Amino acid sequence: MPKVMDYMISPYPIRVIDPKVDSSMLRLGGIRIGQAGHLPGRTLFRRDVVFEHWALVYIVSGSGTFAENGGEVQPVRGGSLFFFRPGCSYSFGPPPGGSWDEYYINFDGKRVDEWLESGLIAAGMIFQGNALAELAASFEEVLGLMDGGAPADADRAALRLEAILLECSFVTRDNARFWQHEAMPQIRRDLNSCVYEQPDLPQIAAKHHISMSTLRRLVRSSSGYPLHEYIHRLKMAEAKHLLLNTSLQVKEISGMLQYSDPFYFSRLFKKYMGISPQHCRSNVH
């Protein structure tokens, strides 16, 4: 396997493999591994870098920090796993005078959406993969398959990546359970505070250092409802409170809750409350 010295990154030989296999020659067209590498003794810290593709990163040893989109700086240590997602900004690396041993695999393709929905990818957080045996060897296997540039080996590498993600998902799932227990109360409070606004869901996700897909999964798992339905239900509960405790007209309540169409608001109210806004108020008297 080729070894490259780059003292800007590490004082040790690094490996960066980018065979650029023609996608038309791949049998597994749904996923493609791009660049993969091993950076032992990495000393380079990068700030506000934006990547074009997804990447899985594994820190074998050493320590440093990781921050997504200018959010909270999260500690990284040996055994840490994290993802880069396209279009987001990252600052990451070891501290001055420090280093870490890093593996990474870039990937893209239509299977990524499926992996997101099934929980094989969970961005924005640091996960600990210490319990995953031979994880470095698995990354080495992917690098070895990609090194030759053969399309068949690139397909095998993609399958190996999926197997790695599956194993890692058990770690991320445990972390998601932690978030459901620890973070959901604050997430619920943040969503509740938006009943009179159009909630900025990406901002709420970023505040808690989770992806939108993770936010959707947490809300569904906690409440039983999809995220947008959960928000509608919050607003309809507030609408019921206003109908029963104020003299505001339905149109006024609709506008206050950020529904520009009172008829749409009334349909949603009946759908979730089981009664029309007018009947809700009249049934009290």
Q: Which domains does the chain carry?
A: 15-179 (2.60.120.280), 183-285 (1.10.10.60)
Report pLDDT for 177.
52
Report pLDDT for 283.
66
Report pLDDT for 74.
85
Report pLDDT for 128.
76
Q: Using alpha carbons only, give the angle 75, 79, 81 rounded to the nearest 5 degrees.
A: 70
Q: Using alpha carbons only, give the angle 82, 86, 90 rounded to the nearest 5 degrees.
A: 55
Picking from 200, 43, 68, the residue whose alpha carbon sits closest to that of residue 123 is 68
Report pLDDT for 225.
85
Report pLDDT for 285.
45
Query: Cα–Cα distances in Å, from 77 out to 7, 18, 129, 157?
Result: 22, 27, 10, 26
In whole angstroms, give the CA distance from residue 232 to residue 278. Answer: 18
Report pLDDT for 7.
61
Contact call for residues 127 and 58 (beta carbons, < 8 A) = no
Q: Using alpha carbons only, give the angle 136, 139, 140 rounded to the nearest 5 degrees.
A: 85
In terms of DSSP H, where are the helices of 208-261? 212-223, 227-245, 250-256
Extract the tokens encoding 252.
């006024």
Contact call for residues 38 and 68 (beta carbons, < 8 A) = no
Handedness of CA 113, 114, 118, 119 (dihedral sign): negative
Residue segments in the chain with a per-residue pLDDT below the cut of 50? 1, 3, 178, 285
Report pLDDT for 141.
96
